[in-house]
Amino acid sequence: MRGNAAMHDLVAPGTLGGVLELLAAEPGAWTPIAGGTELMVAFSAGRLAAPKLVSLWGIPDLRAIEVSAQSIVIGAAATFLDLRRHAVIAAEFPLLAKAASWIGSIANQGRATLGGNLVNGSPAADSSPALLAYDAKIELISARERRRVPYSEFHTGYKRNVLAADELLYAIHLPRRFARHMQYLRKVGTRRAMAIAKVALGATALLEKGAIREIRLGAASLAPFPTRLVQTEAALLGQAVTREAAQSARRALLGEVKPIDDIRSTAEYRSRVAVNLLDEFLLQLRPEGSRP
């Protein structure tokens, strides 16, 4: 254990207003900590550079999950167990519930938060492919204002995002319009549990008269941050799921992804498996028994 607790200040204003005041008073000086499942790992390893931390734990405003006719609004401090236990998420956003079930252990899921997963910004983030496939919008809040950005625009680089120095990630908005979409999510890890994704693909698609009317593909670990596979989507949009369309989609996929060799896997493996996952999804879209 290499962390020195005495070297860190940790305060808990206990309200959203109190947190925002602090961030406004000293922008960039205070690091928010919710469940701690990332920051405390760094702390134990002696790598936590943040001298001042402000706790987001136990603030009801940040953890609420609200359902309206059009959308579901998930508080950034909702834990993954909160997501798994929520009836509407389980029923209408099964990819998110699935992702919540394989992010670490049950002990991690009870503390790790959706907002924390996004702000941490790992390219392998477990919730990201699902959120991309569901066209999520991120709500940011500060003492100055509230604003929303499409989740697909939240990350701007490796572990970089659009949060201003005084801003907090407040909520994640999902539109309740995927009930009739084909949905797919698969994570390829190092083992069945407690695995960081080597590659993951989330997809939602709507077919009309045999053609793809809507398609969203969200990928993890194929770029410096989780991304929509826009070129692959473009190759499939409006197409029937034919052999030609599938081949064109595969080429687009291989062209747009930028996987790397790292401690966990290789670029070549990641590319190849990404193609396999896409194929697996496309197979799902075709009528029973036929293949692309």
Partner 1 sequence: MSTNAGATSNKRWPTIRFNVNGEARRVKVPPMKRLLDVLREDLHLTGTKEGCGEGECGSCSVRLNGELVNSCLIPVMQAEGADIQTVEGLALDGKLHPLQEAFLCHGGAQCGICTPGMLMAAAQLLELNQHPAMPEIREALAGNLCRCTGFIRIFESVAAAVDAQSAGPATKLTTEQTHDAR
Partner 2 sequence: MDEIAAAIGIDPVELRHRNFLHVGDTNATEQLMREPVILDQLLDRALKESDYHARRAQFARENPASAVKRGMGIAAFYHGSGFTGSGEVYLNSLAGIDVTRAGKVRVLVSNTEFGQGTNTILTQIAAEALGIGYADVAMAAPDTDVVPNSGPTVASRTSMVIGRIIERACSQLLALLREHAGLGATFTPDEFFAACERYRAVRGEVVSLCRYEAPPGIFWDDQRYHGEAYGAYAWAVYVAQIAVDTVTYSAEVENFWAVQEVGRVIHPVLAAGQIEGGIAQGVGFALYEKVVWQDGRMANNQMTNYIMPTAEDVPPIHVVFEEIPFQFGGFGAKGLGELPHDGPAPAILNAIRDATGVAFNSIPLLPEDLYAGFAAAQPAEETVVR
Phi, psi of 54 (to 5 degrees): -120, 125
The residue range among 21-29, 33-41, 217-225, 226-234 that interacts with partner 1, by the rule CB under 8 A, is 33-41
- 4 contact, one of partner 2, partner 1, none, CB 5-8 Å limit per kind: partner 1
Looking up tokens 């029923």 gives 91
Phi, psi of 140 (to 5 degrees): -110, 145
Q: Does 275 bind partner 2 (CB under 8 A)?
A: yes
Q: Does 55 bind partner 1 (CB under 8 A)?
A: yes
CB of 159 to partner 2, least distance (A): 17
The residue range among 38-46, 144-152, 225-233, 243-251 that interacts with partner 1, by the rule CB under 8 A, is 38-46
CB atoms within 10 A of CB 187: 22
Tokens matching residue 258 = 């930028």
User: CA 55 from chain center: how many Å?
Assistant: 22
Looking up tokens 């991304």 gives 227
User: CA 243 from chain center: how many Å?
Assistant: 31
Tokens matching residue 193 = 């549990």
Q: Does 279 bind partner 2 (CB under 8 A)?
A: yes
Q: Are 292 and 278 in contact (CB under 8 A)?
A: no
Q: Does 273 bind partner 2 (CB under 8 A)?
A: yes
Listed in sequence order, the residues at least 6 apart from 47 whose beta carbon sits closer than 8 Å to its beta carbon are 2
Residues 181-210 interacting with partner 2 (rule: CB under 8 A)? 188, 190-196
Q: Does 87 bind partner 1 (CB under 8 A)?
A: no
Q: Does 10 bind partner 1 (CB under 8 A)?
A: yes
Residues at the contact surface with partner 1, assessed by CB under 8 A: 1-6, 8-12, 33, 35-37, 40-41, 43-46, 53, 55, 57-58, 81, 104-108, 110-111, 186, 192-194
Residues at the contact surface with partner 2, assessed by CB under 8 A: 41, 188, 190-196, 247, 250, 263-266, 268-269, 272-273, 275-277, 279-280
